[in-house]
Amino acid sequence: MFGAAKTKDLTPQQLKAALDAGTVLLVDVREADEFAVERIPGAVNMPLSTFQPASVPDGEGRTLVLQCLGGKRSAMAVDQCRRAGLAIDTHLDGGLAAWKAAGLPTMIGAARA
The CATH number of the domain holding residue 24 is 3.40.250.10
Q: How confident is the model at residue 3 (pLDDT cuts 50, 70, 90)?
A: very low
Nearest CA-CA partner of 64 in 43, 36, 35, 37:
43
Domain residues for the domain of 87 are 8-108
**113 in a domain, yes or no?**
no
Q: Please determine, for residue 111, whether its predicted confidence score (pLDDT) is greater than 80.
A: no
- Kind plus residue range of the DSSP H or E element containing 35: helix 32-37
Number of domains in the chain: 1
Residues 18-67: tens digit of each pLDDT:
999 999 999 999 999 999 999 999 999 999 999 999 999 999 999 999 99
Mean of pLDDT values over 60-87? 95
